[in-house]
């Protein structure tokens, strides 16, 4: 069953939600001839944004088993990031990494140079902060290059509308595009999804999700040898323009996985949050968030996020149905250890030392362990779609997941009820000049006269977050 899109958006494509791909039958008549992989059967990869995740995604891309892949170009804006990523990849993957110095590019236009080194039908990895997603994806579409982009894919309404247009364009060009909501590719979650859709826990009445950890998204004072822009980029979780803050960047996964299980997108959100312990940090995040997402049938997802040392950790998602309950995520993203319970009693698994879980008579079904990482499955599925020319485009779904996450964030940051329509049509674009940034140019966010960046103030700033 597909999550129904809220009525406000015109439907130009069909949203299939099997966790694999977006159906494109509505556009079949206007599809262009498909783009072939490089003639020698090797699919070349370019990595744009050589940080932790980009490097990990490159490793997954080079580890697929259904045909040869090779990394041929890299782009970043921070030399140290580029160097450590290159060293790691080269050490682990040897000849599959063919990126001589002249194909390692450093600038805000480096993504163009890296993609210029590819042929149509190759793949670019966008592992940069979300603010650059639409800018770099647009170039990939122009070049006829398939794409893997990390989540979130947008951080506000205006960029979501732009991403919807780019999604349509990329489908018309038959480009295969994966979005890093890898849980959708987890076989354990796919099996749970099938069982929930088959009614094994009855109607979902409520869902709960928690991402509560020891901190995150802070920014100490700017070192004197860093430009304002480099400072913000290096700490992108601290600044809403770059990442949507910890709310968007961390919480999107669980808002997406719960909505997938529910088979619907939330249509409004309200919530609370505050800054208690940020100390001298210059970031724009709250320490705590508690947001209710309301689905079209009135049921809710209760989401708690906390970034606070010394408080209890939990990183899990649960669904409660009229006939039973389910664990969607147990301890972060992987392994999912998904399971269904006869009643509503589910134990809290505090840490990995508690694994494997002991036998429990309340468990009606559990996915067999161990599980393969969904970070690998998302690449196996993307590459299979490219090689076999199967429909595969996750951009629209990724943009909606990003938008409903922004809806929850805006609700907490403004202290208002925010609807899907309101967040989609909110004119505040956080970084309208994301395509024009330069190494020595200004940053999208400016320090105030008090030496601080603006922060959300619920009840005071109500039409925009800062």
Ligand X SMILES: NC(=O)c1ccc[n+]([C@@H]2O[C@H](COP(=O)([O-])OP(=O)(O)OC[C@H]3O[C@@H](n4cnc5c(N)ncnc54)[C@H](O)[C@@H]3O)[C@@H](O)[C@H]2O)c1
Q: Does 51 bind ligand X (CB under 6 A)?
A: yes
Q: Does 45 bind ligand X (CB under 6 A)?
A: no
* Cβ proximity to ligand X, 132 vs 379, nearer residue: 132
Q: Does 128 bind ligand X (CB under 6 A)?
A: yes
Cβ neighbors of 100 (< 8 A, separation 6 or more) are none
Q: Does 257 bind ligand X (CB under 6 A)?
A: no
Distances in Å between the alpha carbon of 25 and those of 389, 421, 438? 14, 27, 41
**Quick check: helix, strand or coil at residue 168?**
helix
The nearest distance, CB 111 to ligand X, in angstroms, is 6
Scan residues 332-391 and list those touching ligand X (CB under 6 A): 333
Q: Does 397 bind ligand X (CB under 6 A)?
A: no
Nearest residue (beta carbon) to ligand X: 51
Q: Which of 35, 64, 86, 132 binds ligand X (CB under 6 A)?
A: 132
Q: Which of 50, 118, 192, 401 binds ligand X (CB under 6 A)?
A: 50
Scan residues 157-216 and list those touching ligand X (CB under 6 A): 180, 182
Q: Which of 13, 150, 257, 394 binds ligand X (CB under 6 A)?
A: 150
> Strands 268-274 and 104-106: what pairing?
unpaired
Q: Does 245 bind ligand X (CB under 6 A)?
A: no
> Which residue bears the tokens 């790691």?
88
Tell me the two tokens of residue 85.
């990523």
* Cβ proximity to ligand X, 52 vs 442, nearer residue: 52
3-class SS letters over 38-94 = CCCCCEEEEEECCCHHHHHHHHHHCCCCCCCEEEEEEEECCHHHHHHHHHHHHHHHH
DSSP assignment of 180-202, as one string?
S-GGGG-HHHHHHHHHHHTTTT-
The nearest distance, CB 56 to ligand X, in angstroms, is 8
Q: Which of 233, 328, 385, 455 binds ligand X (CB under 6 A)?
A: 233
The nearest distance, CB 182 to ligand X, in angstroms, is 6
* Cβ proximity to ligand X, 49 vs 324, nearer residue: 49
Q: Which stretch binds ligand X (CB under 6 A): 2-10, 36-44, 129-137, 254-262?
A: 129-137
In 3D space, the residue among 89, 21, 2 whose CA is nearest the CA of residue 378 turns out to be 21
Q: Which of 70, 146, 151, 320 binds ligand X (CB under 6 A)?
A: 151
User: Site mask, ligand X, residues 92-111, x = CB under 6 A?
Assistant: ----------------x-xx
Distance from C-alpha of 284 to C-alpha of 111, rounded to nearest angstrom: 28
Tell me the two tokens of residue 63.
């580890």
Q: Which stretch binds ligand X (CB under 6 A): 47-55, 201-209, 298-306, 346-354?
A: 47-55
Distance from C-alpha of 383 to C-alpha of 43, rounded to nearest angstrom: 9
The nearest distance, CB 238 to ligand X, in angstroms, is 11
Cβ neighbors of 336 (< 8 A, separation 6 or more) are 183, 186, 188, 189, 192, 328, 329, 330, 367, 371, 374
Say if CB 349 and CB 335 are below 8 A apart.
no
Binding footprint of ligand X on the chain (CB under 6 A): 48-54, 75-78, 81, 108, 110-111, 127-130, 132, 150-151, 180, 182, 233, 249, 333
């Amino acid at each position: 069953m597909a999550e129904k899109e809220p009525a406000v958006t015109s439907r130009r494509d069909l949203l299939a939600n099997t966790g694999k791909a977006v159906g494109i039958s509505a556009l079949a008549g206007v599809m262009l001839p498909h783009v072939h992989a490089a003639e020698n059967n090797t699919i070349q990869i370019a990595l744009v944004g050589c940080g932790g995740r980009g490097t990990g995604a490159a490793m997954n891309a080079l580890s697929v088993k259904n045909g040869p892949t090779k990394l041929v170009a890299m782009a970043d804006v921070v030399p140290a990031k580029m160097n450590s990523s290159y060293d790691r990849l080269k050490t682990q993957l040897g000849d599959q990494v063919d990126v001589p110095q002249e194909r390692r590019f450093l600038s805000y236009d480096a993504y163009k140079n890296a993609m210029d080194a590819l042929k149509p039908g190759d793949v670019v990895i966008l592992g940069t902060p979300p603010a650059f997603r639409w800018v770099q994806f647009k170039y990939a579409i122009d070049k006829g290059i398939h794409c893997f982009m990390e989540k979130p894919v947008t951080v506000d309404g205006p960029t979501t509308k732009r991403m919807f247009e780019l999604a349509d364009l990329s489908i018309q060009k038959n480009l295969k595009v994966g979005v890093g909501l890898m849980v959708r590719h987890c076989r354990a979650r796919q099996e749970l999804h099938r069982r929930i859709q088959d009614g094994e826990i009855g109607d979902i009445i409520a869902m709960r999700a928690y991402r509560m950890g020891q901190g995150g998204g802070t920014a100490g004072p700017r070192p004197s040898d860093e430009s304002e822009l480099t400072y913000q980029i290096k700490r992108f979780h601290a600044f809403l323009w770059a990442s949507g803050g910890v709310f968007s960047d961390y919480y999107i996964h669980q808002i997406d996985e719960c909505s997938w299980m529910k088979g619907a997108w939330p249509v409004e959100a309200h919530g609370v949050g505050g800054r208690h312990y940020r100390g001298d940090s210059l970031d724009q995040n709250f320490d705590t968030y508690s947001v209710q997402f309301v689905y079209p049938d009135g049921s809710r997802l209760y989401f708690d996020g906390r970034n606070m040392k010394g408080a209890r950790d939990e990183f899990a998602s649960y669904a409660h149905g009229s006939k039973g309950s389910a664990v969607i995520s147990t301890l972060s993203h992987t392994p999912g250890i998904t399971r269904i319970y006869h009643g509503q009693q589910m134990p809290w698994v505090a840490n990995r030392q508690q694994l494997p879980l002991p036998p429990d008579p309340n468990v009606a079904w559990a996915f067999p362990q161990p599980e393969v990482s969904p970070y690998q499955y998302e690449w196996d599925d993307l590459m299979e779609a490219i090689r076999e020319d199967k429909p595969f485009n996750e951009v629209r779904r990724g943009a909606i997941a990003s938008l409903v996450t922004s809806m929850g964030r805006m609700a907490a940051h403004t202290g208002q009820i925010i609807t899907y329509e309101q967040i989609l049509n909110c004119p505040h674009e956080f970084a309208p000049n994301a395509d024009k940034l330069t190494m020595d140019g200004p940053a999208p966010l400016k320090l105030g006269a008090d030496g601080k960046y603006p922060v959300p103030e619920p009840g005071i700033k109500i039409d925009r977050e800062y």
